[in-house]
Amino acid sequence: MAGLIQQQMGAGAPAPQPQVQPGMGQAPMPDEQMAMGEMEEGEGPDPDTDPGFQQAMQFSMEALYGKEAAKNVAKGLKAGGNPVDALANTAYEIVSIVDERTDGAIPDELLVLFASNILEEVAEIGEAAGMQYQPADVAMALKQMILRFLGEQGLDTTQLQQAMDQVNPEEFNRLAAEDQEVPA
């Protein structure tokens, strides 16, 4: 899958210069804030204004949609077998490529948020192509991505894996269903 994405992103093409565009780099949702450790205001970079985060988001969106890599992503997701593995692997490869192409511009504190944004985008591409994902599928894919990243950094993920395994993935489906039932 990485080969398709790299072809669409133009191997060796220089990374775009950071430009802040409206709608890019959304503020983290409450669940994402919890996953990021409930940072206090003023602690760490802000995804709405951080140039590295903005550069990475812009590069990702241009590569996916401007160069039509989304079509190849959709084909890969359909052919990927296990939907959770396909989501996790595709999003992880995109995050890795973007991080490399932007020379690590994404601040470490925003990497999980960036990865979850890319995972969400990949899931939306899959859904537009006819795939159906439950919130638990996306949560499990993010779990795989986090464990893979930490493992590749040389960390022992045994305890984190055990802690994550204690959360029932169906709980995400239940919470999503509750959110849909609340009148606006």
112 lies in a domain? yes
38 lies in a domain? no
Residues ≥6 apart with Cβ < 8 Å to 106: 52, 53, 56, 98, 99, 114
Instruction: Provide the pLDDT for residue 58.
Output: 94
Instruction: Provide the pLDDT for residue 22.
Output: 35
153 lies in a domain? yes
26 lies in a domain? no
Instruction: Provide the pLDDT for residue 40.
Output: 53
Instruction: Provide the pLDDT for residue 183.
Output: 64
* Radius of gyration, alpha carbons of the chain: 16
116 lies in a domain? yes
88 lies in a domain? yes
16 lies in a domain? yes
Boundaries of domain holding 64: 2-20+45-181
174 lies in a domain? yes
Residues ≥6 apart with Cβ < 8 Å to 64: 8, 70, 73, 94, 121, 125
> Model-level pTM?
0.73
Q: Tens place of pLDDT for every residue, the chain, 184 residues?
A: 444 444 444 444 433 333 333 333 334 444 444 444 444 555 788 999 999 999 999 999 998 888 778 999 999 999 988 999 999 999 999 999 999 999 999 999 999 999 999 999 999 999 999 999 999 999 999 999 999 999 999 999 999 999 999 999 889 888 888 888 766 5
Report the alpha-carbon distance of residue 44 to residue 26 in Å, rounded. 16
Q: How many domains does the chain have?
A: 1
Instruction: Provide the pLDDT for residue 94.
Output: 94
Report the alpha-carbon distance of residue 47 to residue 25 in Å, rounded. 5
